[in-house]
Amino acid sequence: MRATKVVVLVVGSIALLGLVAGFITWVVLSNQNAPTPPPTEVIQLDWWKNCVLYQIYPRSFKDSDGDGIGDLKGIISELKHFVDAGVDAIWMSPIFESPMVDFGYDISNFYDIHYEYGTMEDFEELLDKAHELGLKVLLDFVPNHASNESEYFIKSEAREPGYENFFIWADPLPNPENPGVRLPPSNWVSQFGGSAWEWSEKRQQYYLHQFAIQQVDFDFRNPAVKQEMFNIMKFWLDKGADGFRLDALPYLIEADPADHEGRYPDDPLSGLTQFESHQLGYTIPLYTKDLIELYDVVYEWREFLDEYNKNHGGDTRVVFSEGYANVSMTMLYYGNEDGAIGAHFPFNFDFITDLSSKSNARDFVYIILRWLTYMPYGGIPNWVFGNHDNNRMPTRFRHDMVDGLNIINMLLPGVAVTYQGEEIGMRDGYVSWEDTVDIEACNRGDPDTYHLYSRDPARTPYHWDNSTSAGFSTSTNTWLPVAEDYQEINLAKQKETARSHFKNYQALTKLRKQATLSHGEYDIRALSDRTFYLVRSLPTHDTYVLLFNVSERRDTVDLGRVPHLTLPATVYVSSIHSARLAGHEITSSQLSLEAGEALVLKAQPI
C-alpha cells in the first residue's frame, strides 16, 4: 500500500511538472508571435526646446558687395545652407548701427541697421525669406551699455531732462595727497583693461564703462532705462524677430552708493601679484558682477515677452541669456525658488570654460551631469562649444575630436548650439598684430602678448570654397585675413567628399528629429579615463549610443557595461578618421577606439 502511494505521488508530480512546462512553453511561443507594441506616443515640443541654433557672426559670414565685410544680403544668399545643414534657428551677432569699436557690441542706434550690413529693407527681406524656409531669426540684444555716440549718451552728458541719469555718473573722489588730481569713484577695473571710469569734461563727472571707454553702462535703477529696453524689444518683435540673445547680463547692475555711505565701494583686491591695478584680475568683482538685483530685470523681460506672446499669438518668441558665472548664479537666469521665470535658458558655456584637450572622459561626464543636476525642474538644457569670444572648438580641443564634439552636442537632450564654421570643423585663423582689430587685444596686449587676449582668430571669414577669399568675398582685402587652411577645410569640398565633418553634421541633425533624442531618457558614464558613453533610449523606439574616446591613445572598452545596448548594433555615424563606416555591424562586446574616435551605434529598442 505504501509503495502504491509513492508511485501515485511520483506520477502526480511528473504530471504537474509537465503541465507547468507546457504552460511556460505556451507563454513563450505566444510572446514570440505577439505583435510588436506600437511606438510610444510623444507630445510635440515647442520649437525652441529641441532646436539646432546657429550663431552667425555677420561680419564674417558672407560678403555680397565685395567690400570685404559680411552683410545681410550675403546671409540671405546663403539661407539654404542652414536648411541643408538641418538648422532650425539662427541668431546674428549685433547688426545695429554702431561705430564698430567693439564690432557691433557698441550700439549707437538700437532702432536701425548698421550701414555696412545693409538696410532695414534688407533685414525685412532676410526675415521673410528665412521664415519661408522654416527658420527662426533671433537678434543679439545688448542691454548693458550703449555707444558714447548714441543719442542717449549725448543727451545724458548734456544733462538733458529725462536723460540725466540714463547712465552711471559719479563725482570724483577727493584726493588728500594732491587736490589738483582727480581720483575715480572706485577701483573698478574694465573687462578690457584700465579703469572702468572715464572722465567727461562736458559734464564734469565720471561715467562707468565695464567694457570699452566707448561702451557706457546704462543705469538699470532708472525706470526710464527699463522702459526703453521694453520699447526696443517691442520694435524688433513687431518687425517679426523670433526673439533675442541677451548679452553681458552679469554686468547689468552695480552696487548702489546708497548702501555704501554714498559712494561706489572698492572691489576687494585679489592678492594676485602678477596683476597691476589697471589689469583685469587685480580685483575681485564683488560689486560689479552677478549682483542679485540683475535677475529681477531678466524676470521682468520674460514677463514682458510672455505677455507679448499672449497678445500676438503665433510661435513662441524667446530670450536666451548670456553670462559667464558659476553654476548657482547661472541657474538663476532660468528663474528662482519663489516661482519667478527668467530666460528660456541661459547659455551653457561649460564646454568652453571647464573642458579642453587636457580633459579626460570622467571630466566630460562630470561637467555634463553638473548642468543637468543643477538645472531647475522643467528647464531646457543647451550645449555651446564655441562662439565669437573664444578660440574655436578644434583649436581648444584637438582636430581629431571635431566629430565627437559635434555628436555630443547633437545627442544630448535640449538645444544644440553651433557657432558658424563648427559644422565643417573650422579652426582659429592666424591674425598678426598688424591685422588685429579686436579692442580687447589692443587694450590689454602688445605685439608680444596680444594673442593671449585676441578674439579675432575665432572671427575670421567663413570658408565656403577654395576660391578667392574662401568664397566669402570677391575682394582679397577682407576685414580680417582668411585662415590659411581654407583650401583644405571648406564647405564645397566637404559636400563633395564621401566622408566629412559636414556630412556627419547633416546626419546628426537628421537624427535629432527621432523621438528617442527629442523625448528619450539619457544615461552617461565613463568606461575608463579615456572613453565615455552616452545612451539615449525611449521604449519601442531605437536606442542610440555614443562611444567617444577623448584621449590621445587607443582604448578598448567592454560594451557589456553599457546599459540598453544590445548586440549586434549598427554604426549610424563615425568620426571621419574611424575605420568603421555607417552601416558597419558591431558584434563583439570588446571594442577598440582610436584616439579621438567617436561612434554612434543604433541598437534595438528597450
C-alpha–C-alpha distance, residues 269 and 57, integer Å = 36
C-alpha–C-alpha distance, residues 53 and 39, integer Å = 28
50 known ligand binder: no
Cα separations in angstroms, 213 against 94, 206, 239, 560: 19, 11, 32, 59
Cell numbers for 390: 573664444
246 known ligand binder: no
254 known ligand binder: yes
Work out whether strand 598-603 and strand 96-97 pair parallel, antiparallel, or are unpaired: unpaired
CB crowding 149-167: b at 16 or more within 10 Å, else e: bbebbeebbeeeeebbebb
116 known ligand binder: no
217 known ligand binder: yes
Burial of residue 588, with CB atoms counted within 10 A of its CB: 0-12 exposed, 13-18 middle, 19 or more buried: exposed
- Three-state DSSP at 33 gives helix
Q: Is the Cβ–Cβ distance between 172 and 200 less than 8 Å?
A: no
C-alpha–C-alpha distance, residues 540 and 606, integer Å = 6
69 known ligand binder: yes
Work out whether strand 243-246 and strand 136-141 pair parallel, antiparallel, or are unpaired: parallel
403 known ligand binder: no
**Cα-based angle 494, 497, 503 (whole degrees, multiple of 5):** 55
144 known ligand binder: yes
Mapping DSSP onto H, E and C, the string for 359-378 reads: CCHHHHHHHHHHHHHHCCCC
Residues annotated catalytic, as ranges:
247, 322
Cell numbers for 601: 551605434
Cell numbers for 416: 544644440
Instruction: Give the distance, in angstroms, between the CA of residue 300 and the centroid of all CA atoms in the same chain.
Output: 23
C-alpha–C-alpha distance, residues 265 and 269, integer Å = 12
C-alpha–C-alpha distance, residues 420 and 425, integer Å = 10
568 cis-preceded (ω within 30 degrees of 0): yes
DSSP structural state of residue 582: T
Cell numbers for 155: 543727451
Nearest to 528 by CA among 561, 557, 559: 557
Work out whether strand 215-217 and strand 109-113 pair parallel, antiparallel, or are unpaired: unpaired
- Three-state DSSP at 242 gives coil
Task: List, edge to edge, every strand of the sheet that includes 382-384.
Answer: 345-346, 318-321, 243-246, 136-141, 89-92, 52-56, 415-419, 382-384
C-alpha–C-alpha distance, residues 536 and 538, integer Å = 7
C-alpha–C-alpha distance, residues 351 and 407, integer Å = 13
- CB atoms under 10 Å from CB of 195, counted, come to 19
- Three-state DSSP at 352 gives helix
Single-letter amino acid, residue 589: S
Cβ-Cβ contacts under 8 Å for 150 (sequence gap 6 or more): 107, 108, 109, 216
**Annotated binding-site ranges for Mg(2+):** 63, 65, 67, 69, 71
**Annotated binding-site ranges for Ca(2+):** 144, 217, 251-252, 254
**Annotated binding-site ranges:** 63, 65, 67, 69, 71, 144, 217, 251-252, 254
